[in-house]
Amino acid sequence: MSNIPKDLKYSKSHEWLKLNSDGTVTVGITHHAQDLMGDMVYVELPSTGTKVTAGKECGVVESVKAASDVYAPVSGEIVEANGTLADAPETVNKDCYGAGWMFRLKPASKSELDGLLDAKAYEALVASEKH
Amino acid sequence: MGNRTPLYSDHIKLGAKIVDFGGWDMPLHYGSQIGEHHKVRNDCGMFDVSHMNVVDVKGAGVRDFFRLLLANNVDKLKTRGKALYSCMLNSKGGVIDDLIVYYLDDAWFRVVMNAATREKDMAWVSAAAKKFGGVTVTMRDDLAMIAIQGPHAKQKVYQALGETLRDSAGTLKPFHAVTVRDLFIATTGYTGEDGFEIILPATSAPRTWQQLHSVGVPPVGLGARDTLRLEAGMNLYGSDMDETTTPLESGLAWTVAFEPSDRNFIGREVLDRQKAQGVPRLLVGLVLEGKGVLRNHQKVTCDGAGEGEITSGSFSPTLNQAIALARVPAAVKTGDRGTVELRGKPATVRVVKYPFVRNGKACL
């Protein structure tokens, strides 16, 4: 079953974004993405202060089965990375929308968020990939 | 839709993620591959391995037939029920498949071969049998196979299937089998743990599976089966050896019986030559120093010895680090270091003796 919270935004590369009240966004990978990957064994995240570009890789998640890039869903600067994932990568499987968040970034501009998908559009994307 | 085992609907009920494996719809995991791996190392778990190809070979000349067909020597099988691991080679010494052969009586041997190689195995064995004469080869598609593995596996089998099994299956040494009721119970496995592999009628497989589940034996998918066997240092056909590699280049020299020298098994000539001239490549174990995961087909540059290739690479849940089997130039020694490129960056690997894990304990 797809697990796609209504209050989040999504990228086509299967990251989710949460808009915070201070103007930053929190980013993780979706339930669908972690389900495809299987058990995570290694997470590599960008360090604080890194400038990232929308659509470019900025981290790596590796499962028993495969390795995959994590893409920056918007351009901006990393203000915090989830350090707990280095020692507990399985958190991404257990709670991808909560404790398994990956990083927080400050978007370069507000317009960065315009091209993102809402829950309904992301659900359609996931459905289309299954067929 | 691929082939399905008699336990397919049980897998669906248990929430399995199904994947194609050599034309079979098989469970990859039932939620967590790593969780299932730890269950087998610390307690027990059960695997549906009904996709494996069980073949009965019968006839008065069956022992002589296998003396010709296999690189290992079935003359080591002196008591009924004894099992032997062997490669079956082509005339160039390349591995057609690896298998386990059981001696049941003087006119009946049972072979268990891989699923993905079923068609070519049957073509090869049938052609050899026809040429040899006097033996019949029968695929046993009416049978299923369940492996129960782990330190508590045997206890759970007695609890689920009958305490009387203690007196029969419970007294078996490793690599032996006994038939009890409609169960062919063998002390073999692919995990490096204690346990049984049970071959039984396909029609009674679901009930047996459910009985085992009801005493608390969790199902384990092919994902954990692969990490368990890799930790145990057991080869996987198609990854660690195939028709382009000999057993001597695949860490399987111990399975080739060169004595007696007049046993002229198929592929012998090439192996004799390799043995005399030296084997150019060897299979070694690797551990990754640092984070990341080793993967199949990655190139490994060995300090001072040239290049090799990872044949099976994964993450070891028991050791909590990446491990691999790799085919490297013969000059490579245990303790040597090498370099693997992981996602564009060089990473250091160390050459180690394998198995990596046996009976729940790290061997490094």
* pLDDT tens sequence across B23-59: 999 999 999 999 999 999 999 999 999 999 999 999 9
- With a cut of 60, say whether residue B208 has pLDDT above it: yes
The pTM of the full predicted model, rounded to 2 decimals, is 0.94
Confidence of residue A131 (pLDDT cuts 50, 70, 90): low
Mean model confidence pLDDT for chain A: 94
Instruction: Answer yes or no: is A122 within a domain.
Output: no
Q: What is the mean pLDDT of residues A85-97?
A: 96
Q: What is the 3-state secondary structure (H, E, C) of A48-85?
A: CCCEECCCCEEEEEEECCCEEEEECCCCEEEEEECHHH
Residue A73 lies in domain: 9-109
- Contact yes or no for B346/B312 (Cβ under 8 A): no
C-alpha B267/C-alpha B201 separation (Å) is 35
- Contact yes or no for B83/B95 (Cβ under 8 A): no
- Which residue matches tokens 């204690």? B194
pLDDT digits over B14-31, tens only?
999 999 999 999 999 999
Instruction: Answer yes or no: is A1 within a domain.
Output: no
pLDDT digits over B102-132, tens only?
999 999 999 999 999 999 999 999 999 999 9
Instruction: Answer yes or no: is A114 within a domain.
Output: no
Q: Which of the residues A34, A36, A41 would you substitute to probe the B interface, choosing the one with the greatest number of B C-beta atoms within 10 Å?
A: A41
Q: What is the mean pLDDT of residues B252-259?
A: 98
Instruction: Answer yes or no: is A116 within a domain.
Output: no
State the Cα torsion B178-B184-B187-B189 to the nearest 10°. 160
How far is the alpha carbon of B328 from chain A, nearest alpha carbon, in Å?
24
Q: Is A124 within 8 Å of chain B by CB?
A: no
Q: Is A88 within 8 Å of chain B by CB?
A: no
Q: Is A93 within 8 Å of chain B by CB?
A: yes
Minimum Cα–Cα distance from A42: chain B residue: B292
Q: Which residues contact A39 (CB under 8 A, 6 or more apart)?
A: A63, A64, A90, A93, B29, B32, B33, B34, B35
Q: What is the mean pLDDT of residues A102-131?
A: 91
What CATH number is attached to the domain comprising A82? 2.40.50.100
Q: Does A129 or B329 have the greater pLDDT score? A: B329
* Chain A residues in contact with B223 (beta carbon < 8 A): 38, 64-65
- How many domains does chain A fold into? 1
Question: What strands, in cross-sheet order, belong to the sheet with B53-58?
Answer: B83-89, B95-105, B108-113, B53-58, B136-139
Q: Is B28 within 8 Å of chain A by CB?
A: yes
Contact A64 B292 (CB under 8 A): no
- Contact yes or no for A27/A104 (Cβ under 8 A): yes
Contact B293 A42 (CB under 8 A): yes
Instruction: Answer yes or no: is A17 within a domain.
Output: yes
Residue A113 is predicted with a pLDDT of 87
- Contact yes or no for B255/B247 (Cβ under 8 A): yes
CATH number of the structural domain B280-362: 2.40.30.110
How far is the alpha carbon of A64 from chain B, nearest alpha carbon, in Å?
6
